[in-house]
Amino acid sequence: MRNRLIGSIFSLATVLASYLVLQAQTGRQPGTANVQNAAPQTDLSGVWILHPPSGSSAFSNFAFNEEGPPMTPWAEAKYRIAKPVFGPNKKPVKDSNDPVYGCFPPGVPRIYLHRRPMEIIQLSNEVIMMFEYARLVRHIYTDGRPHDKFLDPPLWMGDSIGKWEGDTLVVDVIGFNDKTWLDRIGHPHSDALHVVERIRRVDHGTLEDDITIDDPKAYKKPWTIQSTFELQPGVGIDWEAVCEDQRLQDRQ
């Protein structure tokens, strides 16, 4: 009797294990709904705006930290030819080669340095970030899908997937092109850039994003930064702030 019971538990376990393997395999196939992540415990929804940390006013609107990241010679060479409008090597806008003045998306994490409203909408299979700056929409898929293996061409804002670890949304971003800067003073990155964000609503009105930047071609070691955002009740995104309109006005 006891042996039979153990036997049935064993066969049940075998069946269950093969079922799970099968589920995992089919989950990799395209077109299949794939829910692997635990349900989020936090709602990140709301309109947020960057809140620079105290004592950072000297650099907070153009860089993430004061000392700068540990560049490789490859990155230093690129940094030297950058013509930013902020920082120690600043130039007038007309002489700048900052891609945002060509109305190109600023990339991640640089988008956070532009202090304009960001709205987060949380759906069952994705978290959508909407940025008034450059009218950008970022889709962070949380349904367990892998990174797109066919990222050709690479993306301005990267390919973002996310998963919930308790109350933290962990976002993994790869697939960047190498045309954007990491900040507004021209720190470069390569197409090997790997960004990991850990986004947490620390209290009702505050969002924290711990960002790890790993790019072995450009930086000697991964570096981490933190951005903090404040909730902006009653604020909406202005979708009519069109970069090209601004450029036309600047010319007239």
Partner 1 sequence: MRACVITAMFVLASAPASSWLAFAQTAEQSEAAKDQKAVSLKDLTGIWAVRAPTGVPWYNYALTADEPPMTPWAEAKFKTNKPSFGPNPQEFPNDLAYGCFPPGVPRVYAAVQAAMQIVQVPGRVIMFFGRNVRQVYTDGRQHPQNLKPLWMGHSTGKWEGETFVIDTIGISDRTWLDRMGHPHSDALHLVERFRRDSQDRLDLDMTIDDPKAYTKAWTAQRTFRLRPPTSELGEAVCEDMFINEAFGLKPMLPSTK
Q: In terms of CB distance, is 165 or 238 closer to partner 1?
A: 238
Q: In terms of CB distance, is 60 or 118 closer to partner 1?
A: 118
- The amino acid at residue 146 is P
Quote the least distance from Cβ 154 to partner 1, whole Å: 10
Q: Which of 79, 102, 44, 84 is nearest to 219 (CA)?
A: 79
Q: In terms of CB distance, is 4 or 149 closer to partner 1?
A: 149
CA gap 124, 148 in Å, rounded: 20
| Count of C-beta atoms within a 10 Å radius of residue 79 | 19
Q: In terms of CB distance, is 220 or 247 closer to partner 1?
A: 247
Quote the least distance from Cβ 47 to partner 1, whole Å: 12
Binding site for partner 1 (CB under 8 A): 30-34, 45, 81, 83, 97-99, 101-105, 121, 123, 125, 128, 130, 135-137, 139, 141, 143, 145, 148-150, 153, 155-157, 179, 236-237, 239-240, 242, 244-245, 247-248, 251
Q: In terms of CB distance, is 7 or 102 closer to partner 1?
A: 102
Quote the least distance from Cβ 157 to partner 1, whole Å: 7
**Under a CB-based contact definition with an 8 Å cutoff, are residues 172 and 162 in contact?**
yes
CA gap 155, 159 in Å, rounded: 7
DSSP assignments along 139-193, one per residue: EEE-SSPPPPS---S-BSS-EEEEEEETTEEEEEEE-B-S-S-SSTT-----TT-
Q: In terms of CB distance, is 30 or 55 closer to partner 1?
A: 30
Paired tokens of 145? 């899908």
Quote the least distance from Cβ 252 to partner 1, whole Å: 9
Quote the least distance from Cβ 240 to partner 1, whole Å: 5
CA gap 111, 131 in Å, rounded: 8
Quote the least distance from Cβ 90 to partner 1, whole Å: 16
- DSSP tag of 219: B
